[in-house]
């Protein structure tokens, strides 16, 4: 029932994304930061997702980007990003998705990420593997950072700190290492799980950006930690997700200890 509802909720959100895509009249407002957007499609997708979940599990805890926490005291928490990659979405760039993770007693046990424009539905269940449109996923085999293809993201409210996003980015670029910037952390993580990227790092994410994607990487055989190499928690900002083979080396690069 949990899996079925997860699929239905993800699909319900994705239908909204398809409906409003490239709509010139899309209402857009701004959050903290001039380019931190929220559109009416974010709100409509969120509403469709939450209604789908509530119709089956009315007492489950909901944590969603636009409405925040709807606490209930349930052991189950649904962590929702109704559109991850909103800037892409608002510009008609089809790199955006619905991302939903399910936490049970503090552990993420299931996740779904759906990009309806590429028709890519990613699903992972703890201990059961990760799948793209029902095909089992495995991370890449690359063993060297210098030969890797990486991806990162930058927050729209820039964090001016020593060794921040631009400093780490420049270290890779100076060595000629390809570092892509897609604009959707959930898709970045799924593409690590699919073996397209060897690693992903970012300095400032929220739980709804990473909850589903992080399980995807782990279930595809990869490794996900914070920047200290500690087990990943979606409730702190840093993430390093890799194929596992380059993980220790990536920690040195990201922390400027190479
Ligand atoms: P969003 O599209 O749901 O806003 C970019 O790599 C990632 O950072 C996206 O997943 C994006 O999610 C998220 N993001 C956008 N603005 C952010 C901010 N101010 N702080 C942290 N993450 C942000
Ligand atoms: Ca979002």
Q: Are residues 194 and 231 in the same domain?
A: yes
pLDDT digits (tens, 9 = 90+) for 2-33: 999 999 999 999 999 999 999 988 888 887 77
Which ligand 1 atom is the nearest neighbour of the CA of 88? 2
Distance of CA 178 to the CA centre of its chain: 20
Q: Are residues 235 and 115 in the same domain?
A: no
The CATH number given to whatever domain includes residue 189 is 3.40.190.80
Note the pLDDT of residue 251: 98
Note the pLDDT of residue 111: 98
232 φ, ψ (degrees, to nearest 5): -70, 135
Residue nearest to atom 9 of ligand 1 (CA): 184
Instruction: Answer with the one of 113, 136, 159 that is the final residue of a domain.
Output: 136
Q: Are residues 61 and 161 in the same domain?
A: no
Please tell me the total count of domains within the chain: 2
Which residue segment(s) compose the domain that 156 sits in?
A: 145-254
Q: Are residues 10 and 129 in the same domain?
A: yes
> Of 116, 42, 135, 106, which is closest to residue 80 (Cα–Cα)?
42
Measured in Å, residue 182 CA sits from the centre of ligand 1 at: 11
Residue nearest to atom 2 of ligand 1 (CA): 85
Q: Are residues 22 and 132 in the same domain?
A: yes
**Residue ranges in the chain whose pLDDT is less than 50:** none
Note the pLDDT of residue 48: 98
Which ligand 1 atom is the nearest neighbour of the CA of 153? 6
Q: Are residues 154 and 216 in the same domain?
A: yes
């Amino acid at each position: 029932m949990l899996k079925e509802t997860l699929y239905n909720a993800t699909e319900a959100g994705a239908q909204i994304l398809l409906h409003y895509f490239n709509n010139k009249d899309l209402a857009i407002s701004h959050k903290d930061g001039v380019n931190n957007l929220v559109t009416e499609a974010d709100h409509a997708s969120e509403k469709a997702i939450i209604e789908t979940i509530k119709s089956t599990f009315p007492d489950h805890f909901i944590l969603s980007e636009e409405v925040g926490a709807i606490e209930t005291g349930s052991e189950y928490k649904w962590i929702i990003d109704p559109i991850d990659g909103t800037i892409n979405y608002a510009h008609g760039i089809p790199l955006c998705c619905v991302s939903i993770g399910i936490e049970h007693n503090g552990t993420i046990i299931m996740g779904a990420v759906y990009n309806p424009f590429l028709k890519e539905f990613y699903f992972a269940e703890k201990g059961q593997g990760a799948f793209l449109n029902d095909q089992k996923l495995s991370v890449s085999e690359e063993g060297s950072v210098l030969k890797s293809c990486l991806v990162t993201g930058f927050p729209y409210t820039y964090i001016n700190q020593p060794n921040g996003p631009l400093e780490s980015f420049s270290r890779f670029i100076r060595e000629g290492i390809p570092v892509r910037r897609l604009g959707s952390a959930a898709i970045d993580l799924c593409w690590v799980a699919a073996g397209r990227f060897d690693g992903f790092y970012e300095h400032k994410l929220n739980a709804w950006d990473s909850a589903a994607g992080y399980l995807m990487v782990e279930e595809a055989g990869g490794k996900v930690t914070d920047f200290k190499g500690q087990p990943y928690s979606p409730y702190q900002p840093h993430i390093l997700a890799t194929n596992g083979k380059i993980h220790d080396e990536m920690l040195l690069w990201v922390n400027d200890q190479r």
